Amino acid sequence: MPTASLSLAPVEEEATSLDEVVAPDLPWVTIVWNDPVNLMTYVTWVFETYFAYPRSKAEKLMMDVHVKGRAVVSNGPRESMERDAEALQGYGLWATFEEDE
Amino acid sequence: MARAFVREPDGFVALLDDGERLILSGLMQQTRVLLSPEIEPTGDAFDDLVASMGVSLNLADQGDPATSHGDVTGAAGAPGAAGAGHGTTDAGYRDPALDRLLPTAHRGDDEVAAEFRRLTEEGLRQRKSSNLDVAIERIGAADDDRVVLDAGQAPAFLIALTDVRLLLGERMGMRTEEDADALHAAMETIDDDDPLGYAMAWYDFLTWLQETLAHALMDDGDGEDLLTSDGTDDV
C-alpha cells in the first residue's frame, strides 16, 4: 500500500487515562463452550465465517471445544471480546467472555 | 422424501415435500415467537440497529404487556407481564429455552452478565428473528418441492436451523452430551405414540438438513476434505 503524504487519520492519542495507569487493561478472552446441539461442521463454519480463520485453525478450535469442553477463540480488549461473544451467540454458539487469567 | 441441500447453479437447493415444509416452517415460527424482539425488524440493517439500541438502553421504560405463547411442547410464559422480551415475565420467570438461545455471557459475574444481556438481547433477538423470517419465507416460496437459497439466504437459513434445534433440544431436556446419548438410547424402547419420539425424529431431521447445508456452504471446491463427514456428530 502506498504511503500517503496527507493523512486524514486523527492524531494518535499519547495520553493514558488514570484508570489505565492504575489497572492496566489485561487481555480478555472469548470462550466457546461445548454443547450437545451444535454440529462440528457448523461450529467450524462459524469460526471460518465470523473470524475469517483458515479451515485448519477453525477445525482445531472446534475440536478443542468438542474434546476439552471449551476453547479460547479470540483475545483482546474487553470491548472486542464482548463484540465477539455477542456475534457468536447470534450464531447460536455458547459463547462467553472473561478476563484472561 | 426429502433430499439434502446441494449446491446447484441457481443456489443451494433442497427437496422437501408438503408435510416436511409444514413441520419445518411451524417449528421455525414457534422459535420466532419465543425470540420476538420488542421492536420488529424492518429488514433495514441501520434502522434495526438504531431501534435495538433505543430499546436496550431504555429497558426500564418499557412497559408493553408481554403475551403468553405456546411453544414446542406446550410450556408457556405467564400472561400479562411487563416486557423484558418475549418468554419473560416481571415475576422473574424466564423461559429456560431463552437461556439456551440467549445464554449468559459471563460465568462468575452476574452483574457483568446482566449488563451484557441488557445491551445485547434486543439486537440478538432481532437478528435471530430476521434469520428465521428469511428461512420461513424461503420455505413458503418453495416451488415443486424445491427450497432454493441464494448466497445471502443460505447462512440465515443455517443459523435459523441452529436456533430451532437449540429450542427443540432444550424442550427435550438435551443439555449435556449425556442427555443426548440417553435420549437417543431411549428411542429404542419408546412407545410409538410418545410425543418425545416425534420430537426426536424431527430433531434428527433438522440435524441432517443443517449438516448438508453447512457442507454445501463450506465446500469451496478446493478438494479439501471436511474433517467431519458423520451427519450426526455434534460438538
pLDDT by position in tens, chain B (length 235): 789 999 999 999 999 999 999 999 999 999 999 998 877 777 676 666 666 554 443 334 444 434 333 334 333 333 333 345 677 776 667 888 898 999 999 998 999 999 999 999 999 999 999 999 999 999 999 999 999 999 999 999 999 999 999 999 999 999 888 999 999 999 889 888 888 999 999 999 999 999 999 999 998 655 444 544 444 445 5
Q: Do B155 and A65 touch (CB under 8 A)?
A: no
Contact residues on chain A for B159, CB-CB shorter than 8 A? 90-92
Selecting from B174, B179, B235 the residue whose C-beta is nearest the C-beta of A39 gives B235
pLDDT confidence of residue A72: 97
pLDDT confidence of residue B46: 67
Q: Do A55 and B159 touch (CB under 8 A)?
A: no
Cell of residue B143, nine digits:
416451488
Cell of residue B194, nine digits:
410418545
Cα–Cα distance for residue pair B161/B45, rounded to 1 Å: 21
B168 closest CA partner among B89, B94, B100, B85: B100
What pLDDT digit, counting tens, does each position of A11-62 carry?
Answer: 554 444 444 444 555 699 999 999 999 999 999 999 999 999 999 999 999 9
Does A84 reside within a domain?
A: yes
Which CATH number characterizes residue A73's domain?
3.30.1390.10
How much of chain B exceeds pLDDT 90, in percent? 56
Contact residues on chain A for B156, CB-CB shorter than 8 A? none
- Three-state DSSP string of chain A: CCCCCCCCCCCCCCCCCHHHHHCCCCCEEEEEECCCCCEHHHHHHHHHHHHCCCHHHHHHHHHHHHHHCEEEEEEECHHHHHHHHHHHHHCCCEEEEEECC
B22 closest CA partner among B33, B12, B30, B13: B30
Question: Nearest 5°: phi and psi at B98?
Answer: -65, -30
Structural domain that includes position A93: 35-99
Does A58 reside within a domain?
A: yes
Interchain contact A70–B (C-beta under 8 A): no
Does A48 reside within a domain?
A: yes
Contact residues on chain A for B107, CB-CB shorter than 8 A? 96, 98
Cα–Cα distance for residue pair A27/A97, rounded to 1 Å: 11
Tell me how crowded residue B199 is: count the other CB atoms within 10 A of its CB.
19
Cα–Cα distance for residue pair A97/B56, rounded to 1 Å: 20
Interchain contact B211–A (C-beta under 8 A): yes
pLDDT confidence of residue B1: 72
Nearest CA in chain A to B207: A39
Q: Which residues lie below 8 Å from residue B219, measured CB to CB, with a gap of 6+?
A: B7, B226
Nearest CA in chain A to B210: A42
Selecting from B107, B159, B169 the residue whose C-beta is nearest the C-beta of A91 gives B159
pLDDT band at A8 (very low <50, low <70, confident <90, very high): low
Strand partners, B113: none
pLDDT confidence of residue B58: 34
Interchain contact B80–A (C-beta under 8 A): no
Does A89 reside within a domain?
A: yes
What pLDDT digit, counting tens, does each position of B42-88 carry?
Answer: 767 666 666 655 444 333 444 443 433 333 433 333 333 334 567 77
Selecting from B175, B233, B235 the residue whose C-beta is nearest the C-beta of A65 gives B235
Does A17 reside within a domain?
A: no
pLDDT confidence of residue B95: 86
Does A5 reside within a domain?
A: no
Does A61 reside within a domain?
A: yes
Nearest CA in chain A to B172: A37
The domains of chain B are located at 3-218
pLDDT confidence of residue A20: 44
Number of structural domains chain A divides into = 1
Mean pLDDT of chain B: 81
Contact residues on chain A for B124, CB-CB shorter than 8 A? 86, 89-90
Is residue B62 a contact partner of residue B52, using CB atoms and an 8 Å limit?
no
Does A94 reside within a domain?
A: yes
Contact residues on chain A for B166, CB-CB shorter than 8 A? 37, 92
Q: Would you say how long chain A is, in residues?
A: 101
Given a cut of 80, whether residue A96 has pLDDT beyond it is yes
Contact residues on chain B for A55, CB-CB shorter than 8 A? 224
